[in-house]
Amino acid sequence: MTSEPPDERELRRLRREARRRAADAEPQRVAPDRRDYRHAPRRPARQPRNTGPGHGHRLVWLAALVLVVVGLGYLGVKELGGRRGGGGDPTSTVPGAPTIVARVTFPEGLRREEMAQILKDKVGMPPQRYLELTAPGARGRALAGAKEARSLEGFLFPATYDITEGMTPAQVVDAQVAAYRQNTANIDYSYAREKNLTRYDVLIVASMIEREVRVPDERALVAGVIYNRLRKGMILGIDATVQYALGSWKTELTVSDLATNSPYNTRKFTGLPPGPICNPGAASINAAAHPKGTYLYYVARNDGSGGHYFARTPAEFEKAVARSKANAGG
């Protein structure tokens, strides 16, 4: 075995030392973190709330309190709704408002004396006071636009009225007149004005229609007959005016009745009667303002229909009368 010379060994040592120093002089590299975080432990779960016996009692009491509040609210709304009407007790009213003691209905076609009797029968209201308030006077004159005193006949609108506790006859009359104004506010009177008829004249015509007509479609036709006969200067010959003059709606009029010397007797005097013969409804007032047809005559059919036969000439009228008698078995 041979050994290297000392010079060569020293040379190799020096080279190794140089390489070591060079390595120490390079910056240190940090190895990347290659751990797998997909399998890292999760955060611990939150602990459940206390559901022990004490907590359960608190939930029960809370639920009961909610039910009580909801129930009281429902009862309050129900009571409020009942007081506002809509099918409830007629005597239930809004707090502080007068109590309704009755609802009184006045049908179309009644005279003021009949309305006074209804008030007496239904609520015990003195009829005499009602008649005094509706008798001829300044209020009727103003409503009619007349020079002389007029009654409120015709202006006492037929409808259903709430009679409240302590209500007076004057208040009833006021309500009826107000209802008349309201229900006639939109009626067009222009045609009547063209025929030199006032609103009061139209109301008079309407009152005769109300007493004469039972079939709604005939209202305007009967109005037409009245207008046409007025234009020709013919007597109107309406039996209902005679009945009004007599103070009775009797169905059979005698010769003596027809000869009654009253300005309301249109069998005897030409033109319109001096005032309405009843209190008509809105349909009859509207028909009186809008007449139809060219007829001059009409007679009851007497066939159970409540209608009339209409005619333009005396000959047609005679035939209509014959048919009417035949229907009645005459």
pLDDT surpassing 80 at residue 271: yes
pLDDT surpassing 80 at residue 298: yes
Return mean pLDDT, the chain.
Answer: 83
pLDDT tens digits for range 211-250 = 999 999 999 999 999 999 999 999 999 999 999 999 999 9
pLDDT surpassing 50 at residue 156: yes
Q: What is the DSSP string of 33-74?
A: ----GGGSPPPPPPPPPP-SHHHHHHHHHHHHHHHHHHHHHH
Angle in degrees, CA 261, 267, 270, rounded to 5: 90
Predicted local distance difference test score (pLDDT) of residue 328: 87
Q: Using pLDDT thresholds of 50, 70 and 90, give the confidence band for residue 255.
A: very high
Q: Using pLDDT thresholds of 50, 70 and 90, give the confidence band for residue 89.
A: very low
Q: Using pLDDT thresholds of 50, 70 and 90, give the confidence band for residue 20.
A: confident
pLDDT surpassing 50 at residue 117: yes
Separation between Cα atoms, residue 84 and residue 222, nearest integer Å: 43
Cβ atoms of residues 123 and 104 within 8 Å: yes
pTM for the whole thing? 0.72
Angle between helices 282-289 and 169-184 (to 10 degrees): 40
Predicted local distance difference test score (pLDDT) of residue 30: 44
Q: Which has more confidence, 56 or 161?
A: 161
Q: Using pLDDT thresholds of 50, 70 and 90, give the confidence band for residue 7.
A: low
pLDDT surpassing 80 at residue 24: no
Predicted local distance difference test score (pLDDT) of residue 297: 98
pLDDT tens digits for range 30-62 = 444 444 434 444 444 444 444 455 555 555 455
